[in-house]
Amino acid sequence: MSESHGFNTNRVFLLLLGLTLAEVLWSFAPFPRWAVWGGLLCFAYAKGYFIFNFFMHMKFEGWIVKGLLVPTLPLMCIVVFANMPDTSRNALLVHELTQQMDPEHGKIVELDQTQRAIDSHDIKEAGGH
């Protein structure tokens, strides 16, 4: 089917491998976080575009199949963004989102940059706000 649709399967495959390699290398680039993350999302979008349109043949489907997926796009945005004001962007939360009770000590601790606080025996209490 792919050859009859006018695209070369092998080229798309090599392109996907190249994009994956470039994405991994980009993740180690010494750039600001916003630039690294933005680049990674662009790489992921490009790979998804090629898989979706060529491997899954969506580019060559009719309006019925395409129309099936159209309602999912606004729903996806709702799922991701509509929850943020109630959770991650809510200043009225009793504790920060990732703070949780440590089962061993019964105290509220938060994620450390490298390891959980309990590993370094340096529990950072954060239950006072």
Kind and range of the H or E run holding 95:
none
Question: Which two tokens mark 66?
Answer: 């395409």
Q: Which is nearer to another protein, 47 or 107 (CB)?
A: 47
* Closest approach of another protein to the CB of residue 106, in Å: 15
* Closest approach of another protein to the CB of residue 7, in Å: 10
Residue 108 neighbours by CB distance under 10 Å: 19
Residues that bind another protein (CB under 8 A): 1-4, 9-10, 12-13, 16-17, 20, 23-24, 27-28, 37, 40-41, 43-44, 47-48, 51-52, 55-56, 61-62, 64-65, 68-69, 71-72, 75-76, 79-80, 83-84, 87-90, 96-98, 100, 110-116
* Closest approach of another protein to the CB of residue 124, in Å: 10
Nearest Cα neighbor of 111 from 121, 122, 128, 98 is 98
Q: Which is nearer to another protein, 112 or 125 (CB)?
A: 112
Residue 109 neighbours by CB distance under 10 Å: 21
- Return the ∠ at Cα 86 (arms to 82 and 90), rounded to 5°: 125
Q: Do residues 87 and 97 touch, judged by C-beta distance below 8 A?
A: yes
* Closest approach of another protein to the CB of residue 125, in Å: 14
